Amino acid sequence: MKFGSFPIDDAAGLILAHTFKAEGFVLKKGHVLTAADVGALRAAGVKDVIGAKLEADDVGEDTAAGRIALRLMGSHLTPSAARTGRCNLVAANDGVVLINAAAITAANVISEAVTIATLPDRQGVTAGQIVATVKVIPFAVSAAVMARVENALGTGAAVVAPYAPKRFALISTLSPGLKPSVVASTEQITRQRIVALGGAMISSTQADHGAADVAREVRSALASGAEIILITGASATLDRGDVVPAGIVAADGVIDHFGMPVDPGNLLVLAHIGSVPVLVLPGCARSPKLNGVDWIMQRLAAGVAVTPKDIMTMGVGGLLVDTPSRPLPRASAVQPATVTVPRIAAVILAAGRSQRMGPSNKLLMEIEGVPLIRRTVSALRAASVGQVVVVTGHMDAEVRRALDGLNVTVVHNPRYADGLSTSLKAGIGALAPDVAAAVIGLGDMPAVTTAHVNQLIAAFDPEADRAIGVPVHDGKRGNPVLWARRFFEDMQGVSGDVGAKALIGANESLVYEVEFEDTAVLTDLDTPEQWSDYLGKSDS
């Protein structure tokens, strides 16, 4: 590939390195210049153009990225379309990702032109999550570099081991000082962990805190068909010879390992009886916060073996205090009888008069037989949100009918003609007092899906200054936006027809951007032309 400045007379076929704007036309970066383009540039007074010309054995950036991604891709992964030299691998199932780190590193050191980034080995993933990304930096790479990279990767260096529907048994030991509410809360949280792994809790039993009692319950769990046994002790395990490990040994079990270099999670015990793993859970398992227990349970649920060496090598990255996936910072965490996680709500602003659409109300116009407002609200209703508030105004009765049967709170804004800010205030005012944040969007977001919303929510962490979640495509910010509760009061002070945009600019240090490859977060339908264009693209 030759890159540099080329005379305009030699620019046909050149891949444009930088976007060119002139009166009446725009040529975007990456565009291959045609003879007509060259003529237009010459007419605009351009004498030289910066770009790249491919040579005979060069492989274009998108083709190269796609080929490398396919070579990297193992089971239960799917590739995205390659664009601008990037191709992502996405998990097809919930499970644990297995990464051949040596192969990835070997491929990455071949050339600066090719980069491969992945999640950490043996990390839990959810369906739809990006597991790896391939980025080709220049517009093309040579065939020789491609061959070396593909050879270094081998095949299937990234794999997802999906969770299997394992049968879990939970045993809780009791002591006079242990509150029943704590036991009940631990069972509920453990059940949630199991369900998230695609498993089922087939039994939950309680016994006195004695070795013989533990042995009896372990044998009962085995007899009931348990494939994984979890034990929560009334007091912490302090030695291999302590009460609960002694009970496992009495039931013909073997203690494989005690302790782990993960905080929280230090006091975990790994054992087995035949082919059935047994985990003695540390006290942190009573909380829904991420801890070492989650890592071990994820691997066992995915059928990935866990050895003492595996546990002992978890120390780098094992300090989980105050990571984004922990709902509360460690310093302020309290161990209550019941533990809650932040509750997220959604507010959809659907009060506008749709004046640019002409005589029709765009929110009531149909896409694939579904009114636009119902399509938008349904996507947010299916996301990881609790309360959903829809603010109506213009054609209130008709919009309400379009939402019939959906579990939402509809609030009418009689002042809708005074601007978007009045609907924002009405929506925020209708939220429950325990809502920690709200995803605020517009009624005309036809392409926004549940996955878009969930990605915004997953990255929310106000304790780490990630308090305003903004979706982005190609450098442009869109909708919906996630707001922490701390901004609700400020929203009550906005005015006019601009919503809360000014608050984003005033709080940039608290903004986190979530990049999306598609244009869904930028797509709204204000005019008949936009509507026609959107339907045309959907049909193609």
Longest dimension (CA), the chain: 92
For the domain made up of 2-53, give the CATH fold: Molybdopterin biosynthesis moea protein, domain 2 (3.90.105)
Architecture of domain 58-162: Alpha-Beta Complex (3.90)
Tokens found for residue 78: 């799917």
Q: What b/e string do you get for 11-41 counting C-beta neighbours within 10 Å, with b at 16 or more?
A: bbebbbbeebeeeeeebeebebbeeebbebb
Strands, E assignment, 47-129: 48-53, 58-60, 77-79, 86-91, 95-99, 114-118, 124-125
Would you say the C-alpha torsion 166, 76, 384, 468 has a positive or negative sign? positive
Cα–Cα distance, 110 to 113 (Å, whole number): 9
Task: Please name the amino acid found at residue 307.
Answer: T
What are the domain boundaries of the chain?
A: 2-53, 58-162, 167-332, 343-532
Q: Does residue 363 contact residue 371 with C-beta atoms inside 8 Å?
A: yes
For the domain made up of 167-332, give the CATH fold: Molybdenum Cofactor Biosythetic Enzyme; Chain A (3.40.980)
Contacts of residue 287, defined as CB under 8 A and 6 or more positions apart, other chains included, come to 189, 264, 333, 335, 339
Q: Does residue 203 contact residue 226 with C-beta atoms inside 8 Å?
A: yes
Helix residue ranges per DSSP H, 274-353: 292-301, 308-312
Q: Does residue 428 contact residue 409 with C-beta atoms inside 8 Å?
A: no
Q: Does residue 89 contact residue 79 with C-beta atoms inside 8 Å?
A: yes
Architecture of domain 343-532: Alpha-Beta Complex (3.90)
Cα–Cα distance, 280 to 255 (Å, whole number): 10
Cα–Cα distance, 183 to 172 (Å, whole number): 7
Measured in degrees and rounded to the nearest 5, phi and psi for residue 362 equal -55, -30
Cα–Cα distance, 46 to 40 (Å, whole number): 9
**Angle 19-21-22 (CA atoms, 0-180°, nearest 5)?**
155
Q: What is the pLDDT along the chain (540 residues), one digit of tens a residue?
A: 888 899 998 888 888 888 888 877 888 888 888 988 888 888 888 899 898 888 888 999 999 999 999 999 999 999 999 988 999 999 999 999 999 999 999 999 999 999 999 999 999 999 999 999 999 999 999 999 999 999 999 999 999 999 999 999 999 999 887 888 889 989 999 999 999 999 999 999 999 999 999 999 999 999 999 999 999 999 889 999 999 999 999 999 999 999 999 988 999 999 999 999 999 999 888 888 888 999 999 999 999 999 999 999 999 999 886 444 443 333 333 333 333 345 899 999 999 887 888 788 999 999 989 999 999 999 999 998 989 999 999 999 999 999 999 999 999 999 998 888 899 999 999 999 889 999 999 999 999 999 999 999 988 888 667 899 999 998 899 999 999 998 998 888 888 776 787 788 778 878 899 999 999 999 988 888 888 888 876 654
Please state whether the predicted TM-score (pTM) of the whole model is above 0.75.
no
Helix-strand-coil percent breakdown of the chain, rounded to 5?
35, 30, 40
Cα–Cα distance, 163 to 198 (Å, whole number): 6
